[in-house]
């Protein structure tokens, strides 16, 4: 079955970096992109970015684009999210999700149909 398995929880100090992995199985990795989202304690879902299966092109949330990098390793069907210069308000559960993004009759379609179980990242001194 299709699944995304994320790496384990992390505790980081302010100013450090974190790299979360997301290993896909059960489908052709190159046929879908990967989105990343996070949920801080008591907050809603926040979209972070998207990496396309084609040439690895990326789109990032404006507030994160100076600190985030999304990459993939097709040889292992694994996606990675790196967030740098961590702050306390980066404490959140981070999710990866398989997604589709494309254009159909002038409209963009975009959705995330399979999600990982989440990785808790805690930023604390």
Partner 1 sequence: QSVLTQPPSVSAAPGQTVTISCSGTSSNIGNNYVSWYQHLPGTAPKLLIYDNNERPSGIPDRFSGSKSDTSATLGITGLQAGDEADYYCGTWDGSLSAGVFGGGTKLTVL
Interacting residue ranges for partner 1, rule: CB under 8 A: 35, 37, 39, 44-47, 49-50, 59-62, 95, 97, 101, 104, 106-118
Element holding 70 (H helix, E strand): strand 68-73
Q: How far is CA 92 from CA 10, 57, 88, 119, 123, in A?
A: 10, 25, 9, 8, 9
What's the CA gap between 15 and 85, in Å, rounded?
Answer: 4
CB of 100 to partner 1, least distance (A): 8
Q: Which is nearer to partner 1, 44 or 125 (CB)?
A: 44
Q: Which is nearer to partner 1, 59 or 77 (CB)?
A: 59
Q: Which is nearer to partner 1, 53 or 116 (CB)?
A: 116
CB of 28 to partner 1, least distance (A): 18
CB of 90 to partner 1, least distance (A): 18
Choose among 43, 35, 20: nearest CA to 89.
Answer: 43
Are β-strands 10-12 and 68-73 bridged in parallel, bridged antiparallel, or unpaired?
unpaired
Q: Which is nearer to partner 1, 13 or 105 (CB)?
A: 105
């Amino acid at each position: 079955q299709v699944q995304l398995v994320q790496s384990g929880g992390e505790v980081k100090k302010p100013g450090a970096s974190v790299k979360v992995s997301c290993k896909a199985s059960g489908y052709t990795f190159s046929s879908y992109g990967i989105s990343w989202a996070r949920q801080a304690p008591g907050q809603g879902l926040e979209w972070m970015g998207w990496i396309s299966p084609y040439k690895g092109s990326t789109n990032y949330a404006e507030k994160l684009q100076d600190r985030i990098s999304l990459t993939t390793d097709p040889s292992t069907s694994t996606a990675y999210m790196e967030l740098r210069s961590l702050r306390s308000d980066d404490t959140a559960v981070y999710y990866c999700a398989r997604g589709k993004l494309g254009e159909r009759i002038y409209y963009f379609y975009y959705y995330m149909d399979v999600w990982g179980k989440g990785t808790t990242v805690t930023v604390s001194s």
